[in-house]
Amino acid sequence: MLHNSKTFTLKPLIAALAFAPGLVIADNQLSQIVVTANNTEQTQRSVTANMHVITREEIEVKQYQTLTDALVSVPGVSFGVNGGRGHAANVYIRGSNRVLVLLNGTPLNDPSSIANTVNFESLQLDDIERIEIVRGAQSAIWGANAAAGVINIITQKATRQGSARVGLTLGDNGYSQLSTALKLVGEDVDASYHFNNTKTDGFTQLKPFKANQNNFERDGYEQTDISLAIGLNPTQRQRIETFVKQTIMDADFDSQFAPDKPNDSDSNRQVKSTIRQLSYQLRHNLFELTSQVSETEIERTEGVGFNYLGKQDQKSLQIQSHYRQDDSTQISIVQSNTSSDQNDITVNNTALNLFNQNQFGKLTLNQALRYDQFNEFKNKTTGRLGAAYAINQHTKLSSNMGTAYTAPSLYQLSYGSTKDLKPEETRDWDIRIETYGFGISYFNSEIHDMIEYEAIGNWGDPDYDDYFYNLAGKSKFSGWEIDYSRNLNPINTLLSLQYSQLKAKDDQGKTLARRPEQSASIDLRFYGLKDTQVNWHTRYIGTKYDYRNDGTQQIGRYFISDLSVNYTVNNHISLHAKVKNLFDEDYTDAVENATGSTPDIVYANGGRQFFIGIRAQL
């Protein structure tokens, strides 16, 4: 339910646990190879940026179904979903939704969407190996739209031996998920194939405030994902990879224009996305060359007669040199074209990126510089500096500062009476210390020329006008992120905690909407029973307003708990079960209509939901 104000903090608890008996979670987490922080392979230990990795093991143990499910415990990350599966979602990093989302390094942002955002609602995790989240301005590495951070989704590939897998999950509201995977490995070639079909009768997207969602019609959903990856090793130094993935989604929704919104049985949206990638890699002594060509095509149908098509193609060439044992430099050239059938605009972008990293004993320094040339607006130069110092084996101090920009979307550039829209400019910095599984970060960010929407008059009136424009001042974001992980060996439990504190204000000092000012989570994974793992997750969402400025509809201050159990029958078969929203919390991520500060129509969350499934593998 929507609660009255309460005070909540995890800081004393974290401070106490930092010195509790136990073993810090294995050091090999810092030794795993990551690629997103600097668009190159490196160990997580050598990264100066604030980074979080969600592994395949975590996805399976906690039974995450979608990307937004997986982001619930990431420090500094929040999100809101407008109803159930298949409905629009927004993801914020440090209070900003200027987030670049990649699949194996290829942008997933939809060029035909209002703000060049991502169809988060269609990102399922059946074929995902890991998810890398980098917080802070990343335009110096990744270019436009990476002002708040980057989420890179890495798909599974065939490993040293072939395998076959099938899984079936059933749940409330007629939910079913069937997934299959096949991996083949030869001497010089490998291939992997994934198929996933998910469907549900769903629950109503909209409902009256505090009403029982079961009293209204259901909004169903179905999605099918098919992917194929083939790898070829012509020599020991060369690698060629091709990857194709297609997603088809069909979802009912409740239109805001329907006479009886919660019982709208006519509105439907369909999304078809296709991603194609081809890459070549050559390693020769101290040099490495990587080239990639990719295409993304997204078709959307919203309601009756509203059809959209967005396309983006990208070509890149990267050369890296390890000129000393712990030092490297790289140069990248990227060319991309972005278009939408909603207008005659095609944005052409050519970029040159330079990156360098040096190791001086315990000190790591990196520098990035990128120049972007555009045909539709002013060219941009962005930079980033990072430093990390290993105080001892267990303690590291790091800091980063950088600039970034967010380009106007094709929709925004041509909408209504919009004129002279400029890219947003971001400046940010952060500092972090990590020791014995405990980490604390402070960040500060400013957005200049933030893009906003304005409507004047009433829809249908002769003098009605609407457009996008740049705010004159600075929008400011700042806050704290605290995380802690420890293996409590005496009680066979892995403990993870996170707490985030956020201030997000526009150029007038008004609180930005739908960003929680406080959020926290606790994860307990118990492995003390033979062949069984039990995971408990509880998260808290603090003060959150549905509309800009304090005093509007308060939709935060609630707890949600999930419980999942995994049981390994033998080497080939495992069973799993999960309860989402265990205590049936009646919360909402957004308000559709309100009278003053009281919500009238809100987005439903589905309430308590049960799932059970089986996996078989050869």
pLDDT in tens, 301-327: 988 778 889 999 999 999 999 888 788
CB 394 within 8 A of CB 435: yes
Report yes or no: 514 and 590 within 8 Å, Cβ to Cβ.
yes
Confidence band, pLDDT 50/70/90 cuts, at residue 285: confident
Strand partners for 492: none
The residue among 301, 363, 353 whose CA lies nearest residue 330 is 353
Higher pLDDT, 148 or 39: 148
pLDDT at residue 332 is higher than 80: yes
Could you tell me which residue, 575 or 26, shows the higher pLDDT?
Answer: 575
* Residue 10 pLDDT level (bands cut at 50, 70, 90): very low
The predicted structure's pLDDT at residue 33: 67
At residue 111, the pLDDT reads: 87
Query: E strands of 82-212, at which residues?
Result: 89-93, 99-103, 106-107, 128-135, 149-155, 163-171, 175-185, 189-200, 206-208
DSSP secondary structure, 17-47, as one string: HTTSSSB-S-THHHHSEE-TTTTS-EEGGG-
- In the block, residue with structure tokens 């890179």: 152
Q: What is the pLDDT of residue 409?
A: 87
Q: Which of 209-223, 384-398, 457-471, 516-530 has the lowest mean pLDDT?
A: 457-471
Answer yes or no: is pLDDT of 77 > 80. Answer: yes
Q: Give the pLDDT mean for 555-578.
A: 96
How sure is the predictor about 455, in pLDDT bands with cuts at 50, 70 and 90? confident
Going from the C-alpha of 471 to that of each of 400, 448, 507, 515, 530, the distances in angstroms are 26, 8, 7, 19, 59
Q: In whole angstroms, what is the distance from residue 336 CA to residue 248 CA?
A: 25
Across the strands, what pairs with 154?
Answer: 130
349 or 4, greater pLDDT: 349
- What is the predicted pLDDT for the residue at 499? 97
Indicate the SS3 state at residue 442. strand
Does residue 478 belong to any structural domain of this protein? yes
Residues 436-445 have a mean pLDDT of 96
HSE toward the beta carbon, residue 59, CA cutoff 13 A: 21
| Residue 139 structural domain | 34-617
Q: Please report the pLDDT score of residue 118 as a whole number.
A: 87
pLDDT score, position 86: 87
Highest mean pLDDT among 152-161, 269-278, 414-423, 592-601 belongs to 269-278
What pLDDT is attached to residue 29? 56
Residue type, 23: L
State how far the Cα of 230 lies from the Cα of 192, in Å rounded to an integer.
7
Which of 150-164, 281-295, 437-451 comes out lowest in average pLDDT?
A: 150-164
Q: For residues 29 and 34, what is the distance between their CA atoms, to the nearest angstrom?
A: 10
Identify whether 20 is part of a domain: no
Give residue-wise pLDDT tens across range 168-191.
999 999 999 999 999 999 989 999
Q: How confident is the model at residue 46 (pLDDT cuts 50, 70, 90)?
A: confident
Please give the average per-residue pLDDT across 577-599, as a whole number. 91
Segment 474-507, tens digit of pLDDT = 999 999 999 999 999 999 999 999 999 999 998 8
Q: What is the pLDDT of residue 17?
A: 41
**Which of 61-65, 262-266, 384-388 comes out lowest in average pLDDT?**
262-266
Of 30 and 23, the one with more pLDDT: 30
CA 165/CA 162 separation, integer angstroms: 10
Q: Is the pLDDT of residue 160 over 60?
A: yes
Alpha-carbon distance of 21 to 489, in angstroms, equals 9
Per the structure, the count of domains in the chain is 1
DSSP 344-407: S-EEEEEEEEEEEEEEETTEEEEEEEEEEEESSS--EEEEEEEEEEESSSSEEEEEEEEEEEEP
Assess if residue 541 is contained within a domain.
yes
Q: Give me the amino acid identity at 292.
A: Q
Region 375-390: mean pLDDT is: 93
Q: What is the pLDDT of residue 549?
A: 59
The CA distances from residue 98 to 426, 438, 441, 450, in Å, are: 10, 28, 20, 11
Q: In the chain, what percentage of residues exceed pLDDT 70?
A: 94
Average pLDDT over residues 2-29: 43
Query: In the structure, what pLDDT confidence band is assigned to residue 28 with cuts at 50, 70 and 90?
Result: very low
**CA 334, 337, 338: angle at the middle one, nearest 5?**
130
Two tokens, residue 424:
């947003």
The DSSP output letter for 121 is: G
The mean pLDDT value for 556-567 works out to 97
345 vs 311, which has greater pLDDT?
311
Tokens found for residue 481: 């992120």
Strands (DSSP E) contained in 407-543 are 424-435, 438-448, 451-456, 465-470, 474-488, 493-505, 518-526, 532-541
Mean pLDDT of the 77-83 span: 90
Does the residue 11 lie in any domain?
no
- Beta-carbon contacts of residue 329 (< 8 Å; ≥ 6 apart): 320, 321, 323, 354, 355, 356, 357
Residues 55-70 pLDDT 10s: 999 999 999 999 999 9
209 in a structural domain? yes
Structure tokens at 69: 């499910």
The secondary structure of 59-119 as a DSSP string is HHHTT--BHHHHGGGSTTEEEEESSSTTS-EEEEETTB--EEEEETTEE---TTSTTS---
pTM: 0.92
Percent of the chain at pLDDT exceeding 90: 67
Beta carbons within 10 angstroms of residue 561's beta carbon: 15
Q: Averaged over 102-107, what is the pLDDT?
A: 92
| Amino acid 19: pLDDT | 41
Q: List all residues 6 or more positions away from 334 whose beta carbon is below 8 Å from its beta carbon.
A: 143, 314, 315, 316, 349, 350, 351, 353
Residue 226: which CATH number? Answer: 2.40.170.20
The chain-wide mean pLDDT, for the chain, equals 89
Is residue 26 in a domain? Answer: no
More confident: 493 or 81 = 493
Q: Report the range of poorest mean pLDDT among 275-279, 282-286, 342-346.
A: 342-346
Q: Return the closest-CA partner of residue 559 out of 532, 522, 525, 528.
A: 522
| Amino acid 414: pLDDT | 84
pLDDT for the residue numbered 550: 58
Domain membership flag for residue 3 = no
